[in-house]
A and B are shown apart, each in its own frame.
Chain A
């Protein structure tokens, strides 16, 4: 999923302070799972903003809505009936959601309330870790299911480097060395010979080096 973290509350307050009526929009997908922008977080943020402005003597009108998905135009349409009563939109979705709203409602300012972080997986309750960088040419099949692009600090395709120490990375003793993980995994699978094969230089164009990326499924296009 796409992970996100709520922005510092002072930054959000600065965004909305010139306005009196805010449409606060959450998203039921990734940001709900990583507890950054779901219905619950929408309620909490609305309440905190109200408390902040009430203390200053200002009544901030907040309309709370959580869409099933903010990155699909079909769902964004549901905001239309509420826009007349909003001076600005505050979105708790990832950057994709914020931009989908911005492109649909061109005459309303949209502010992000979260910082979109990375594509990650849940390690345990409350902890999410980066697992994919969307390189566009997945190599998990030859690295035992552990991604060196996302999890090696140097994105080394043939590792480990000299900075590995007892299975940890030199940048931080809490960070696993991806190549140690890969080796251990290949060994457990009896596929050590795969480690011997040199992985050739990667074509980074599908990773975004060729500009903004797009997927077109011709069979689905209307």
Chain B
């Protein structure tokens, strides 16, 4: 049986999470290739529509990775991002989607190991949930 390999979008802030991912790479720490990183200046810049569009286009999971609480380079962008994730999770719950497909993670620039660990955990969660339900329809449309 073919193992389901999820496609995961990770919006990573330039100052912390992206640097942590970079560090994971420099230290040769394995993290799943399922994670596609999009670097953003701050997680506060990730609008709700960016996340929804990722899901609409077939991403199996999306997470936003920002600085530790209180350490945002732009003061409170990560706090805003967390509020936004909660807002979208409520929407997802209302329309019968698993809220676990969406997550907010915080880390500092030096936490390369933690980046890899959370990437693994999130990938496992999504693998357990299965593919994004819209994928089938997108594939059908593409086939036409």
Set A40, A50, A55, A59: member contacting B97, Cβ < 8 A? A55
- Bound state CA distance, A219 and B138, in angstroms? 58
Comparing A8-16, A17-25, A96-104, the segment that makes contact with chain B is A8-16
Given the interface pairs A40-B49, A43-B49, A44-B52, the reply to whether A51 lies near B137 with Cβ below 8 Å is no
Total CB contacts across the A-B interface at under 8 A: 44
What separation, in Å, do the CA atoms of A43 and B137 have in the docked complex?
21
Decide if A52 is an interface residue (CB 8 Å cutoff). Answer: yes
Q: B47, A51: Cβ atoms under 8 Å? A: no
Whether the pair A54, B133 counts as a contact (CB closer than 8 A) is yes
Do B49 and A48 have beta carbons less than 8 Å apart?
A: no
CB closest residue in chain A, given B93: A9
A123-163 residues with Cβ-Cβ distance < 8 A to B are: none
Instruction: Flag if A52 contacts B95 (CB, 8 Å).
Output: yes
Smallest CB separation, A9 vs chain B (Å): 5
CA distance A9 to B53 in the complex (A): 18
**Chain B residue, CB-CB nearest to A59:** B137
Is chain A's binding surface mostly helix, strand, loop or mixed?
helix
Restricting to A47-92, which residues have a CB under 8 Å from any CB of B? 47-48, 50-52, 54-55, 57, 59
- Chain B positions within 8 Å of A51 at CB level: 52, 55-56, 92, 95, 97, 134
User: 4 shortest A-B CB distances, which residue pairs?
Assistant: A47-B52, A52-B95, A54-B134, A55-B133
Sample 15 A-B pairs with CB under 8 A, ordered by A number.
Answer: A9-B91, A40-B49, A44-B52, A44-B91, A47-B52, A48-B95, A51-B52, A51-B92, A52-B95, A52-B96, A54-B56, A54-B133, A54-B137, A55-B133, A59-B141
B residues with CB within 8 A of A: 47-49, 52-53, 55-56, 91-92, 94-97, 133-134, 137, 141
